[in-house]
Chain A
């Protein structure tokens, strides 16, 4: 995997099934193979000394799993959790190995089959917007879905407790 901001992935690598979810009016997606579980929002135990987007930890059948609020991580204004708010439990590959983590999203939409024709490279936005978190975008039925690189979103250096500078 090269470290360029765009074009890190071959189009073929990105083809497959994605779970899509909403943050505000935007549609994001993660590969279904990364998704372990989708649960309703539940009581989260806050952990001190972490960035505000790290909401804390939850107990998933005896396992302690960190929770990241993706709205806050991406700089959306905070919003009260609703009936539709979901926690998506994912497996991410960090520098220290595979870990179970979870993200809070506004609501889960659907599972999409993304084909090579629908995939486009991440456009360059200039400095304002971080594109490192994106593997690319997919245009499906007229809607743009952002393909997230979860390994980067959830831990550039393997620890979410440290406030991270933007990824190099």
Chain B
């Protein structure tokens, strides 16, 4: 963050700061010396006579809320004058908060690792510093208070146990909210009510510090700087300027700590995602032009070695460029995993279950959009695992399992797909109970006996829940169907593996990117359409005796042992229903959600990898079409949506019945 910008908000700070600054110069060396051993040797420093209650009053919540609700003119003046700076701050701060959250979760597992405390403190300090430099006072105040807590923990005066980590995690949430809110406010949106939360948090932090330090020594009184700099109303608390110096002089040494971090990130730059999308667009177009030139008859008639070589080189380079530009959109799945880890931790606490979280493959890269979109479903599945899957410690021990359960989250590549596993070692799915519940809801006929796998898949049906009690987090029967829908909308699928008493695994299979699709080109009337290759099982020219007619219309096709419904693709979509004789046309067998159907198309052209484009919301209500692809000749081919087509066929036959 630029220091140039610091000038204006600083000037507005109240006067006492100036004196503090002046005296700060007097003893910087001494204080630093004093601090150094404190970090090296955590044991308590000599007592300084200042009671915790004096330094840490608990002001009434009403009084404090105002401290965190600063009007835009005061707080946003700097960022409003330089929107780019504001956005940079927001992006950076959220980034840092993400790091902090991850490190906190690590700290939760390994409280003895003091280096983690530094890793948490540094970004926190940066966030605070940046907020203060830009004059975003409310954020600075909260961050500052928590920073004090962390600082005390760093110097070993406070133990970072579960409740402390909880509190800091909550502060990360509150700060993210506040910082996002800054963005909203900059965009002209009304402010969200974060004041109460911020105030409560600060009070709790104060109480926690006070509680921990009770009877122990207090070296650095927490609220000094904040009080002096931004909250003159409680300025009477500042009765010992030396503490102020202490903090000030400590700052430069911490800044030095930041240096390696900056150096490490210097190889990466932040880019607006729209710019990346533009590059991908342009490269897609380049590929089309390249192939147009390549196939140009005028060029093809030339027999020239050098030209052929250069054309080949051009093709290689454009293909390379496309691969590279696609890679720009790929990010590690880590961010999603971190959020899941956080949810597992929070919920297991609440449910009184002890859970170890094991994460592997968090460096697996996926399209940025996929990572964003898959986070919620993953969180939901993990929540379900902890809430329904994992037994209470007592039950686990009674069943001869370790009291501590394990939830593992892993990601790995499989061909052009990524597999994400959410696995628990809990009780597994209760097949009988699911079946019973399904019967009650009329999802299964009373006398039917579906295969166990089919029974397990029923938890993905809307409105399905077998939870004995509706808990705060799950059991309302909303969720797993949404999970499946979300995953399917990402062109992925989810499977369950479960064993009674051993645990459950959710297997999510996703394409690497939504931007490219492995497609099968088919001709429908005068149009060419793209069927996702993943949904196509086979294609065939059926023998006339394998086509069965109903009411004089070819309606069924026999494919080996099974008889499939036969539908004209053009008719379903409404692209002009040409009565096709299936034995002279081609039947493409498409499978989606467990059912198969034979689609009659005029011609099967070829397989092609296509770049997926949205048709825009103008065509949002068009069904059976998922988007557009720019084909080799520059024309657009419609990308078909097998799920939508299936639904249309089903509805069509229901209407006819």
A48 on the B face (CB < 8 A): yes
Asked if A57 and B628 make an inter-chain contact with CB atoms under 8 angstroms apart, the answer reads yes
Q: How many residues of A contact B (CB 8 A)?
A: 25
The reply to whether A159 and B617 contact each other, CB–CB distance below 8 Å, is: yes
Q: Contact check: which of A47, A61, A62, A155 meets B615 at CB < 8 Å?
A: A47
The B599-657 residues at the A interface (CB cut-off 8 A) are 613-625, 628, 630, 634-638
Determine whether the beta carbon of A59 is less than 8 Å from that of B635.
Answer: yes
Tell me which residues across on chain A come within 8 A of B613, comparing CB atoms: 62-64
Complex: how many Å from CA A94 to CA B285?
27
Q: Which residues of A contact B620 (CB under 8 A)?
A: 159, 161
Contact B285 A47 (CB under 8 A): no
Residues of A within 8 Å of B618, CB to CB, are: 66, 99, 101, 155, 158-161
Within 8 Å by CB of A161, from B284, B619, B630, B637, lies B619
B636's partner among A48, A61, A64, A99 (CB-CB below 8 A) is: A64
Q: Are B635 and A48 in contact (CB under 8 A)?
A: no
Residues in B251-297 with C-beta less than 8 Å from chain A? 281-282, 284-285, 288
Contact with B along A148-168 (1 / 0, CB 8 A): 000000010011111000000
A46 at the interface (CB under 8 A from B): yes
CB distance from A101 to the nearest CB of B (A): 7
Which residues of B sit under 8 angstroms from A46, Cβ to Cβ? 526-527, 575
Per-position contact with B for A68-104: 1 when CB-CB < 8 Å, else 0? 0000000000000000000000000010100101000
User: Counting CB contacts under 8 A, is B46 at the interface?
Assistant: no
* Contact residues on B (Cβ < 8 Å of other chain), bracket: 20 to 34
Mask for A37-55, Cβ within 8 A of B = 1, else 0? 0000001011111100000
**Which residues of A82-133 have CB atoms within 8 Å of chain B's CB atoms?**
94, 96, 99, 101
CB distance from A162 to the nearest CB of B (A): 6
Taking CB atoms, residues of chain A closer than 8 Å to B614 are: 64
- Is B637 a contact partner of A45 (Cβ separation < 8 A)? yes
- Determine which residue in A48, A64, A159 has the highest number of CB atoms from chain B within 10 A of its CB, and name it: A48
Residue A30 at the B interface, CB < 8 A? Answer: no
Contact status of A48 and B634, CB under 8 A, knowing A62-B281, A158-B617, A159-B618: no
Cβ of A58 within 8 Å of any chain B Cβ, yes or no, is yes
Partner of A49, one of B527, B617, B623, B635: B623
Q: How far is the CA of A161 from the CA of B625 in the complex (A)?
A: 12
If A45-B628, A63-B281 touch, whether A162 touches B617 (CB-CB below 8 Å) is no
Known: A61-B285, A62-B285. A50 touches B619 (CB 8 A): yes
- State whether B617 touches A45 (Cβ < 8 A): no
Q: A56's closest neighbor in chain B, by CB?
A: B636
CB neighbours of B616 from chain A (8 A): 64, 66, 99
CB <8 Å contact, B527 and A45: yes
Bound: A46/B630 CA distance, A: 14
Q: Are A48 and B625 in contact (CB under 8 A)?
A: yes
In the complex with contacts A43-B635, A45-B636, A99-B616, A161-B621 CB distance below 8 A = yes
Asked whether A161 lies within 8 Å of B527 as measured between CB atoms, the reply is no
Contacts of B622 in A (CB 8 A): 47-50, 161
Q: Is B467 an interface residue (CB 8 A)?
A: no
CB distance from A64 to the nearest CB of B (A): 5
Q: Quick one: given A45-B527, A48-B573, A101-B618, are A59 and B282 in contact (CB under 8 Å)?
A: no
**CB-nearest residue of chain A relative to B613?**
A64
Chain B residues near A61 (CB-CB < 8 A): 282, 285
Cα distance A159–B621 in the bound complex, in angstroms: 8
- With a cutoff of 8 Å between Cβ atoms, the chain B residues found around residue A94 in the complex are 617
Q: At the interface, yes or no: B574 with Cβ under 8 Å from chain A?
A: yes
| Residue numbers in B under 8 Å from A66 (CB-CB) | 615-616, 618-619
Q: Which of B18-73 contact A (CB under 8 A)?
A: none
Chain B residues whose C-beta falls within 8 Å of the C-beta of A99 in the assembled complex: 616-618
CB distance from B652 to the nearest CB of A (A): 13
Closest beta carbon of chain A to B259's beta carbon, Å: 43
Q: A53: shortest Cβ distance to chain B, in Å?
A: 13
With both chains docked as a complex, state the minimum distance between the C-beta of A12 and any C-beta of chain B, in angstroms.
27
Contacts of A63 in B (CB 8 A): 281, 613
Residue with the highest number of chain A CB atoms closer than 10 Å, among B526, B614, B618? B618
Take A48-B625, A57-B628, A59-B630 as given contacts and tell me if A96 and B636 are in contact as well, using a CB distance cutoff of 8 Å.
no
Known: A62-B284, A62-B630, A66-B616. A162 touches B636 (CB 8 A): no
B615 touches A48 (CB 8 A): no
A73 → B minimal CB distance (Å): 14
A81 to B520, CA, bound (A): 31
C-alpha gap A159/B622 in the complex (Å): 10
Decide if B574 touches A49 in the complex (CB within 8 Å).
yes
CB pair A64 B628 closer than 8 Å = yes
Whole-angstrom CA separation of A70 from B372 in the bound complex: 40
Q: Is the CB of B625 within 8 A of A45?
A: no
Chain B: CB-nearest residue to A46: B527
8 inter-chain pairs at a CB distance below 8 angstroms, sorted by A residue, are A49-B573, A64-B615, A66-B615, A66-B616, A101-B618, A161-B619, A161-B620, A161-B622
Interface residues in chain B, defined as those with a beta carbon under 8 Å from any beta carbon in chain A: 281-282, 284-285, 288, 526-527, 573-575, 613-625, 628, 630, 634-638
Given contacts A62-B630, A96-B617, 20 further A-B contacts (CB under 8 A): A45-B628, A47-B638, A48-B573, A49-B574, A57-B615, A59-B634, A59-B635, A62-B281, A63-B613, A66-B616, A66-B619, A99-B616, A99-B617, A159-B618, A159-B619, A159-B620, A160-B619, A161-B620, A161-B621, A161-B622
Closest 5 pairs (CB-CB, A-B)? A62-B285, A45-B636, A62-B281, A48-B574, A48-B573
